[in-house]
Chains A and B, each alone.
Chain A
């Protein structure tokens, strides 16, 4: 039973992170390899807002989330906008460089020590007992719920919202979208801000649950195979992929070797690439965009 709980929690973590990758890829065909670092930045910002709003944890959290939205827009406006027009590989490498930059800056500003935002905010993290006998920490439970809410909202927006439709259109055929009056820069900025928002949510909840170190981006990188396995441009795929990768990881750690933890997602990824590169639910696109 505890195994099942672990799988669901890990799957929720991966899913919440993965939808950030999917959002940006679906709308602009760019792979944002700085997502893990942006996620970490969101969590670190809670530390900053915690001291600003000491005594008001909810305000601090909201402020950190709003700040992440702003960061997403800024990253697009000042950096990625200049790359819309270059080769996709160059855009991806730009995100990699951005990630490296953020890692350095975070350590310079906050030091490489382990931090505990939950303590900084004065919020507890009790372990809850579930019917059927299993334990889950409070913030993990919140994460699972948040994940479901986020996916529901995103799904509704993309499928039925007017601007969601325009975002999908821009993802399929950017030139035609521009020729139909859709402001590509606006759409891309929206995608980046939504992606940073969900990433920050994931980062903050993770940090509240188990502390914050400068090596959090590793989890971001591990969630990437989940997005790919499901199909980089499919939200449903991200959810499914996260479940598959999380299940594989938890089961293999438990039954085989705990050291496998970091490499299992990539084994699953490799298997997927061999059999079905565009993922379970992805659109079968030409695979030679460089």
Chain B
């Protein structure tokens, strides 16, 4: 497993507590504390624009982590991620609008929607794999979007649903800094859930199913159950992300959840590197920051005024180019690059692993 922090140079765990601990060495502990301090300091030193960007990255991370769990680890391809985010956002919007439900009802309700949708999205995976599974998730995405659109037109919200900020004890949560910490808490929580799920029986089952499904079945792993579990957990997390999205933006409209959003999430896990939680985070940061980077780049170029008018098209083109570059040059993503470097140093001065049985 890819560990970014300095790790122990051997196996030193001597009791159960040690075995369960996530952090082994003092070096890891120190690095983590420094990193945590930096994260906490961000809202106090960053401009409102950067703060908003950081919040977007955190929000995207939740969705990226859940997709990585489903596709990167359990191997179930899903192209319908935007549909799930839409479902979470719409559940929140509808409940807030129709019955003025507070956030401590809408959030769990969104998670519940996620569970139900996860079961529905996951049912095809019991019969289909690979390409056909991806296509079925695509079909389900379009159906969810259609239902959302139907709701908007039938209830007269043709421009979208306005959602008020949640209130705690009568105080509306409006401040960007408070949102940063809320989103940070959710993102860290999601990360911890993912790490622990992957270390547990479910995680091992998912890896086995991903590697060779028939063998997993033969070994007694309840493949159907674990596949559905992957879908359900992933969808629940994604719907919660959608709910947070609705509150953060204050506005829910079906046009924001198009196929391009699904593709962006898939790009996040590809660019980051499949099969790695760190990859999900890196990918989420990359894809979220990307349009802003392009815009900044355009401002630097002298003759870019005409292009700036068509900023969407420029974003599209640039995104397409970058995605192609990653897929062609490094399909294993940023983490793949790191692994190759790691292998090079681990094997040095040999270039390849030695021939098996060559024991002289």
A-side residues, CB < 8 A to B, are 31, 79, 82-83, 86-90, 92-94, 96-105, 107-108, 111-112, 221, 224-225, 228, 259-260, 262-263, 266-267, 269-270, 273-274, 277, 287-290
List 13 additional A-B contacts (Cβ < 8 Å) besides A94-B323, A104-B315, A263-B146. A90-B327, A104-B312, A104-B318, A104-B319, A111-B310, A112-B310, A224-B135, A259-B146, A259-B149, A260-B146, A273-B128, A287-B128, A290-B77
B157 located at the interface, meaning its Cβ lies under 8 Å from any Cβ of chain A in the complex: no
CB-CB under 8 A from B4, the residues of chain A are none
Q: How far is the CA of A160 from the CA of B181 in the complex (A)?
A: 67
Q: Mark B316-359, 1 if CB is under 8 A from A, else 0.
A: 11111101100110010000000000000000000000000000
**Is there an interface contact between B317 and A108, defined as CB atoms closer than 8 Å?**
yes
Contacts of B140 in A (CB 8 A): 270
Q: Is the CB of A266 within 8 A of B143?
A: yes
A104 touches B320 (CB 8 A): yes
Tell me how far the C-beta of B82 lies from the nearest C-beta in chain A, rounded to whole angstroms. Answer: 13
In the complex, 5 of the A-B residue pairs with CB atoms within 8 angstroms, ordered by the A residue number, are A89-B77, A100-B260, A107-B312, A259-B146, A267-B139
Residue numbers in A under 8 Å from B150 (CB-CB): 259
Query: How many whole Å from B31's CB to the nearest CB in chain A?
Result: 33
Interface size of B by CB at 8 A reads: 45
* B164-223 at interface with A (beta carbon < 8 Å): 213
Contact A266 B138 (CB under 8 A): yes
A280 shortest CB reach to chain B, Å: 14
Q: State whether A287 touches B310 (Cβ < 8 A).
A: no
Q: Which residue of B lies closest to A278 (CB)?
A: B132
With an 8 A cutoff between CB atoms, is B155 at the interface? no
CA distance A244 to B130 in the complex (A): 25
Q: Which of these, B124, B143, B213, B321, contacts A273 with CB under 8 Å?
A: B124
Q: Please report whether the interface of chain A is mostly helix, strand, loop or mixed according to DSSP.
A: helix
In the assembled complex, the Cα of A239 lies from the Cα of B131 at a distance in Å of 21
Residue pair A287, B317 in contact (C-beta under 8 Å): no
Give the secondary structure class of B's interface: helix
Q: How far is it, in angstroms, between the C-alpha of A108 and the C-alpha of B309 when the chains are bound?
A: 10
Distance of A101 Cα from B153 Cα, bound (Å): 32
Q: Does A274 lie within 8 Å of B318, measured CB to CB?
A: no
- B69-86 interface code vs A (CB 8 A; 1 in, 0 out): 000000101000000000
Q: For A279, give the chain B residue with the smallest CB separation.
A: B132
Q: What is the CA–CA distance of A155 and B135 in the complex, to the nearest angstrom?
A: 26
CA gap between A289 and B129 in the complex, in Å: 7
A277 to B260, CA, bound (A): 25
Assess whether A288 is in contact with B213, with CB atoms less than 8 Å apart. yes
The answer to whether A270 and B143 have CB atoms under 8 Å apart is: yes
CA distance A274 to B130 in the complex (A): 15
Known A98-B320, A267-B143; contact A274-B307, beta-carbon cutoff 8 A: no
Distance in angstroms between the alpha carbons of A86 and B317 in the assembled complex:
23
Given contacts A273-B136, A277-B132, A288-B130, contact A100 B143 (CB under 8 A): no
- Let me know if B266 is at the binding interface, CB within 8 A: yes
Determine the chain B residues whose CB is within 8 A of the CB of A94 once the complex forms: 323-324, 327-328
Q: What residues of B have a CB within 8 angstroms of the CB of A221 in the complex?
A: 259
Q: Tell me the minimal C-beta distance from B291 to chain A in angstroms.
A: 12
Residues A269 and B135 in contact in the complex (CB < 8 Å), given A101-B317, A103-B316: yes
- Whether B323 and A97, one on each chain, are in contact in the complex, defined by CB atoms closer than 8 angstroms, is yes
Q: Which of B275-324 contact A (CB under 8 A)?
A: 307, 310, 312-321, 323-324
> Are B128 and A277 neighbours in the complex by a CB distance under 8 Å?
yes
Set of chain B residues within 8 Å of A31, measured between Cβ atoms: 131
A93 touches B266 (CB 8 A): yes
Closest 10 CB pairs of A and B: A101-B320, A104-B317, A104-B316, A97-B323, A107-B313, A288-B129, A100-B320, A266-B139, A263-B146, A290-B130
Alpha-carbon gap, A112 to B314, bound state (A): 13
Interface string of B232-270 (1 = CB under 8 A from A): 000000000000000000000000000110010011001
Taking each of B140, B260, B320, which has the highest tally of chain A beta carbons within 10 Å of its own beta carbon? B320
- State in angstroms the CA–CA spacing of A290 and B211 once bound together: 11
Distance from B318 Cβ to chain A, minimum over Cβ atoms (Å): 7
Q: A79-B328, A228-B135, A263-B142 are in contact. Are A108 and B314 (CB under 8 A)?
A: yes
Q: B360 interface residue, CB < 8 Å from A?
A: no
B278 to chain A, nearest CB (A): 20
Q: Please determine whether B129 and A274 come into contact, CB atoms closer than 8 angstroms.
A: no
Q: Which of B75, B310, B323, B327 contacts A290 (CB 8 A)?
A: B75
Answer whether residue B127 sits at the interface, using C-beta atoms and an 8 A cutoff: yes
A90-B331, A100-B263, A104-B313 known; A269+B319 contact, CB < 8 A = no
Return chain B residues, CB-CB under 8 Å to A89: 77, 130-131, 134
Of residues 93 through 131 on chain B, the ones whose CB sits less than 8 Å from some CB of chain A are 124, 127-131
**Chain B residues within 8 Å of A111, by CB:** 310
Whether the pair B324, A79 counts as a contact (CB closer than 8 A) is yes
CB within 8 Å of A: which B43-65 residues: none
CB closest chain-A residue, reference B320: A101
User: What separation, in Å, do the CA atoms of A145 and B312 have in the docked complex?
Assistant: 38
Tell which of A100, A287, A289 touches B319, judged by Cβ atoms closer than 8 Å.
A100
| Min CB–CB distance A262 → chain B (angstroms) | 7
What are the residues of chain B within 8 A of A224 when measuring CB–CB?
135
Point out the residue from A96, A98, A262 that lies within 8 Å of B142, measured CB to CB. Answer: A262
- Closest CB in chain A relative to B140 CB, distance in Å: 7
Cα A86 to Cα B135 with chains together (Å): 20
Rounded to whole angstroms, the CA-CA distance of A99 and B131 in the bound complex is: 18
